[in-house]
Structure 1
Amino acid sequence: MPDETAVLAPNFTTDPYWWDAAPPATAREALPETTDVLVVGSGYCGLSAAAELARNGVDVTVVDAEELGAGASTRSGGMVSSGQKLVIGGAVKGVDAARMERLLADSISSYEHLRTLIAEKQLDADLGVFGRYFGAHVPRHYDRLRRHGELLARHTGVTVHEIPKSRQHEVTQTDFYHGGIVIDEYGGLHPGKYHRALRRLATESGARLRSHAPVLKVGPLTNGFHSVETGRGTIRARNVFFGTNGYTGQGNPDLRKRIVGVRSYQIATEPLPPELMAQINPGRRMITDSKRELVYSRPSPDGTRVLFGCRPGLFDLPEREAAPRLHAMMLKVWPQLAGYRVTHCWSGKVGMTADKIAHMGRRDGIDFALGCNGNGVALMTYLGHQSALKLLGHQNQPSAFDSPAFPEIPVPFYDGRPWFLPIVSGWYHLQDAIDRRMARL
């Protein structure tokens, strides 16, 4: 039996590749006794909200259960898009036309907000807009992707190119997919560097950032303040804002019932020869596919490595065990990567909602923005900003994602612990396997 760990490089680590250049930060300074706004969660959403609030003179404190940036924001693939998840992910099904237009318009605004923020504040984020390829897992998915592309072009104004399988090697030298579509305006950034830049922006604007302070309980508003119990003491806050996404914990049981933290895994290869990178991804595009349990890949920002992500099986695994499985799945797409080892394997939780739509708003006196559904780089940055504008009373109009309807996860007795995920994942894997088998007949 072959040694699966042979694919691991001698310097293999379970830290995210992004942390090599920009690791999370520790901020163990004492917590303040009081604050105007307590932001729970130091991801893109929380930091974006904190920066805008502090810039407008609000006394704001950000707390995180772990290091600043240890969660999903620095564990993502760093892909940047606009309304793609709403259309291709199926979220717009059953949504009336007027709200769909507003959701897509806000998604476009999130993309433009991100690009403007990075440019105007000169944030070091390695943003590159090289396009994104959506590959058809089976032949019949090609027509579905074409329809999605037409819808995205019509509603969001993106430039879509149809790529039949006969031309697929122009995009990537693989025969695993059956053609697909390229969207020019999508891109990617360096999640670690972007998070570090947002930390600096929030701090320079006047926000306090504090790590290792998990929120355990939020008391009701009494005499103008919430009493917030953390692992490092109690803070009195006039307003509390949760931007915890897939890491929403016991500090807010109500929100925890409305979001599922789904673990996704990624690997990074060791540096590859330039000619091989030119085969895998000559245009340095982001690449995803049409499976239910989708695969996503991209080049590292410096163009030297392949980063590859998916769920390796029905159950969560330690990263060291997951790495060989991801490597084997990667070779199914690009057999020419055989012989190149894995230097990093890491995982992070994606915040999923029942309706596949992100939500912001207020429940029981607590403000929140949650549920990126795997599309969080631009959207959660934007919803953090919009939440801050709402608290300040500066919004021109309410966000389309701000709705009183935030459905609970439709699973009996769900309390934030996703015991049912292996069942759902198993069903998705089975359906994908059936699709592949039927395509061969």
Structure 2
Amino acid sequence: MSEAGIFAEDFKTTPYWWERSPRPELEQSPLPQNVDVAVIGSGYTGLHAALQTARGGRSTLVFDAEDAGFGCSTRNGGQISTSVKPDLALLTRRHGADQARAILDDGREALRWIGEFVDQEGIACDFDVVGRFHAAHNEPAFKRLVSALRNEPKGLESGGQVVTRSEQRAELGTDVYHGGVVYPRHASLDPGRYHQGLLERVLAAGATIAPHSPVTRIERLGKGFRLHTPRGSVTARDVVIATNGYTGAVTPWQRRRVIPIGSYIIATEAIEPDVMDRLFPTNRIVSDTRQVVYYYRVSPDRRRVIFGGRVSQGETDPRISGPLLRDELVRMFPELSAVRISHSWMGLVAYTFDTMAHTGLHDGMYYAMGYCGSGVSMASYLGMRTGQKVLGLKEGKTGFDGTPFQTRPLYFGNPWFLAASVSYYRWRDSRNV
């Protein structure tokens, strides 16, 4: 199939999730002169913080440089995990035994809590606890997965189940992997519908959303802040920075501590039900053990494959990244060699130098960010906890509080080292180690 032929006739470079949940058309009313709380960023983090403060009786204004939810909150794959990449041993070396446990407990709580939140709020977003199949890309990786599962610390058991290579087709219709582990508590949702439902509840709580209102400067006042935008300025007693992969020059301290990395996703055209049943016999979300990871799932209606990964260091054209993802999809599933791409898009996730999320207070402003590509539950959870912090509630405390938010010399927000790092990890992934 020619490169031009791999795109469907109605191909789009916008997220598949926007078909059911287009970017909201919010009225751009005049900005208030003063608010109690100003939130910068209208993704999961910012909206959850705003929901807490608005319901807590604080006048709340949420700024966004684009449409509400334009960033990765509506561009992700809708996969939900415990969101903490470092294991107990590494966290203990870095932060001590007690805080290490607290961090991992928050990861587990974030996974549990998001399901409870969606249920209690009645948000129709196709939330489902489907489990994750984490596939080993080679035999040594499979052995490491099995060893980690058998040596899980007491009290932190995942309930994982080993799937050998001979059993693998009960989970996934491919032979490229060497088995894996199923984590049964992991979940999925439609990120666009989830964001829309969250946005509706924030507006119902009385908060104001200001789309297309980039904050260009934050001025420190005696007992608060003045936020400057092209539409005017607003004074606020408290400020929440919730910009994650889109953190810019207006908050240079945070910008030096997050690494924006492109995450690329495609959606296929509709696939015949019998083919889908052979290739994806379960509705599980899938990821693999490569450092340059691929992650994928079936759409909520089981008609399409949503396939994502890190396929470029700096490319932002979905017409270029899309064919690269499709090549990998077909390599894994040759039966899909004739399938075309209906949607191809990208967004920016935020990694950190210690591969862990961070939240806290700097220069009088609250922040939560750095979800390292696993932010659906953790961004929501830490946004909620940040809102509680603004309200002065003890419930806002998390295991992440007080962890050093690291940067590196000569890093100011432009990840000049990323291309070399990705190339190195691709080389590592190609070796049988």
CA contact (8 A) 1:14 1:344 kept: yes
Q: Give 1:94-113 correspondences, 5 Å limit.
A: 94-113=94-113
Q: Does 1:376 align with 2:375?
A: yes
Report which stretch shifted further, 367-376 or 388-397: 388-397
Identity of aligned residues (%): 34
- One-letter identity of the residue aligned with 2:246: Y
- One-letter identity of the residue aligned with 1:430: W
Report which stretch shifted further, 311-320 or 284-293: 311-320
Structure 2 residue aligned with 1:367 = 366
Structure 2 residue aligned with 1:144 = 144
Mapped to 2, the partners of 1:53 and 1:254 lie a distance apart of 24
| Alpha-carbon distance, 1:115 to partner | 1.0
Report which stretch shifted further, 420-429 or 253-262: 420-429
Structure 2 residue aligned with 1:189 = 189
Mapped to 1, the partners of 2:91 and 2:374 lie a distance apart of 12
| Alpha-carbon distance, 1:113 to partner | 1.6
Mapped to 2, the partners of 1:91 and 1:227 lie a distance apart of 38
CA contact (8 A) 1:386 1:395 kept: no
SS of match in other structure, 1:220:
strand
- One-letter identity of the residue aligned with 1:147: S
Against the structure 1 CA distance between its residues 122 and 167, is the aligned structure 2 distance closer, same or farther, given a 3 Å change threshold?
A: same
Structure 1 residue aligned with 2:40 = 40
Against the structure 1 CA distance between its residues 161 and 37, is the aligned structure 2 distance closer, same or farther, given a 3 Å change threshold?
A: same
CA contact (8 A) 1:214 1:231 kept: yes
Report which stretch shifted further, 32-41 or 395-404: 395-404
Structure 2 residue aligned with 1:336 = 335
- One-letter identity of the residue aligned with 2:249: Q
| Alpha-carbon distance, 1:300 to partner | 0.5
| Alpha-carbon distance, 1:155 to partner | 4.2
Structure 2 residue aligned with 1:12 = 11
CA contact (8 A) 1:9 1:270 kept: yes
Structure 2 residue aligned with 1:242 = 241
- One-letter identity of the residue aligned with 1:245: N
Mapped to 1, the partners of 2:22 and 2:414 lie a distance apart of 28
SS of match in other structure, 1:101:
helix
Mapped to 1, the partners of 2:296 and 2:323 lie a distance apart of 16
SS of match in other structure, 1:215:
coil
Structure 1 residue aligned with 2:208 = 208
| Alpha-carbon distance, 1:434 to partner | 2.6
CA contact (8 A) 1:90 1:356 kept: no
Structure 2 residue aligned with 1:312 = 311
Cα deviation 1:77-132 (Å, max 9, x = unaligned) = 11111255343997676443222210111111111221111111101111011110
CA contact (8 A) 1:225 1:238 kept: yes
CA contact (8 A) 1:150 1:160 kept: no
| Alpha-carbon distance, 1:343 to partner | 0.2
Q: Does 1:432 align with 2:422?
A: no
Mapped to 1, the partners of 2:244 and 2:154 lie a distance apart of 30
CA contact (8 A) 2:259 2:413 kept: yes
Name stretches of at least 5 consecutive residues in structure 1 with no aligned partner: none
Structure 2 residue aligned with 1:221 = 221
| Alpha-carbon distance, 1:396 to partner | 3.5
Mapped to 1, the partners of 2:375 and 2:93 lie a distance apart of 20
Mapped to 2, the partners of 1:13 and 1:219 lie a distance apart of 40
Query: TM-score, normalization: structure 1?
Result: 0.94
Structure 1 residue aligned with 2:118 = 118
- One-letter identity of the residue aligned with 1:251: V
Report which stretch shifted further, 263-272 or 275-284: 275-284
CA contact (8 A) 1:88 1:148 kept: no
Name stretches of at least 5 consecutive residues in structure 2 with no aligned partner: none
- One-letter identity of the residue aligned with 1:386: R
Q: Give 1:157-306 correspondences, 5 Å limit.
A: 157-222=157-222, 224-306=223-305
Structure 2 residue aligned with 1:347 = 346
SS of match in other structure, 2:66:
coil
Mapped to 2, the partners of 1:45 and 1:237 lie a distance apart of 19
SS of match in other structure, 1:218:
strand
Against the structure 1 CA distance between its residues 3 and 110, is the aligned structure 2 distance closer, same or farther, given a 3 Å change threshold?
A: same
CA contact (8 A) 2:350 2:369 kept: yes
Mapped to 2, the partners of 1:327 and 1:95 lie a distance apart of 41
SS of match in other structure, 1:117:
helix
Against the structure 1 CA distance between its residues 325 and 404, is the aligned structure 2 distance closer, same or farther, given a 3 Å change threshold?
A: closer
